[in-house]
Amino acid sequence: MTRFFLVAALIVASAVSTLASATQAPPPTLAELNEHHNKLLHILTEFRDIEIAFQKRVRHLQGTLGGIEVDNLYQGIDLSTMAGIQSARRRVKAFQEGYDEFSDAVEQQWAGYDRAVKNSDLAEPEASELRENLSADLSQTLPANRAWMSASRAEAAAVTHLLDVAERNLGHTRWQDKRLVGTDQRTSEELEAAEQAIADADHRNAATGSPVRNSRNHVQEFILSSLSELHKTIRRTLDQRTSPSE
């Protein structure tokens, strides 16, 4: 009886092994590998086009701003005159509009990446891995961009406050050693407080850092890695086709 059960168990194990071998997916054909390659390459090309459009928009923006940065919004301008104050206000306005457009360019860039990933028709599990890498990028880059823009707006607002103080105290200020100073104690204290607020905002802005400089594109890295592995598989498949049969 024991021998009967042992033989029966061996028969069942053999049948399961045969069934598993029969249902195992065959290796992909060269045509399927090429199709997979083209899908990955299409996504990478879309990403490249999105990046080119982003860089073009940034270059146009840089030309429009004409070198206006947070470090030269009012520095070197005589704020003891209405003409100087108005000149600085125009620079602050251009700075705010320019950085709002830059922030929008970053948002649009990643929205484009998101559409490219959602429209891809990769098979699982690669499709899920692609979405996970995009999610990792979005969770880092967009919050960083928004924090940076918030810090930039706060710095511009601090400069605007200084200009308000300068305008309100016209006649009680003078331009001395390339710096606005008050001619009485109250005005001097008000100007010092406004300048300290700018310095604090500048420190927070510097600590935040640029989202573009600090960002990392995990999606592109993943696609490039997948393409590299796919190229190896295609090469092995071609080698097997051309190798002499044993």
The reported pLDDT for the residue numbered 223 is 82
| Domain assignment present for 3 | no
The reported pLDDT for the residue numbered 215 is 57
Using 50, 70 and 90 to split pLDDT, how confident is the model at 158?
Answer: very high
What pTM value is reported for the model? Answer: 0.74
| Domain assignment present for 20 | no
Residue 16 pLDDT > 70, yes or no?
Answer: no
The reported pLDDT for the residue numbered 210 is 64
Q: What is the mean predicted confidence (pLDDT) over 15-25? A: 43
The reported pLDDT for the residue numbered 21 is 42
| Domain assignment present for 246 | no
- Domain span holding position 80: 30-238
Q: Say if CB 104 and CB 185 are below 8 A apart.
A: no
| Domain assignment present for 141 | yes
- Side-chain half-sphere CA neighbours of 63 within 13 A: 6
Number of structural domains found in the chain: 1
Residue 212 pLDDT > 60, yes or no?
Answer: no
For 45-52, the CB contacts below 8 A with 24+ separation are 46/112, 46/116, 47/113, 47/116, 47/217, 47/219, 47/220, 47/223, 50/109, 50/112, 50/113, 50/116, 51/109
Q: What is the pLDDT of residues 61-90, one digit of tens each?
A: 888 888 888 778 898 899 999 999 999 999
Mean pLDDT of the chain: 83
Using 50, 70 and 90 to split pLDDT, how confident is the model at 14?
Answer: very low
| Domain assignment present for 243 | no
DSSP per-residue codes, 67-134: T--GGGSSTTS-TTSHHHHHHHHHHHHHHHHHHHHHHHHHHHHHHHHHHHHHT--PPTTHHHHHHHHH
Q: What is the mean predicted confidence (pLDDT) over 204-212? A: 74
| Domain assignment present for 22 | no
The reported pLDDT for the residue numbered 66 is 82
| Domain assignment present for 181 | yes
The reported pLDDT for the residue numbered 17 is 41
Residue 231 pLDDT > 90, yes or no?
Answer: no
| Domain assignment present for 138 | yes
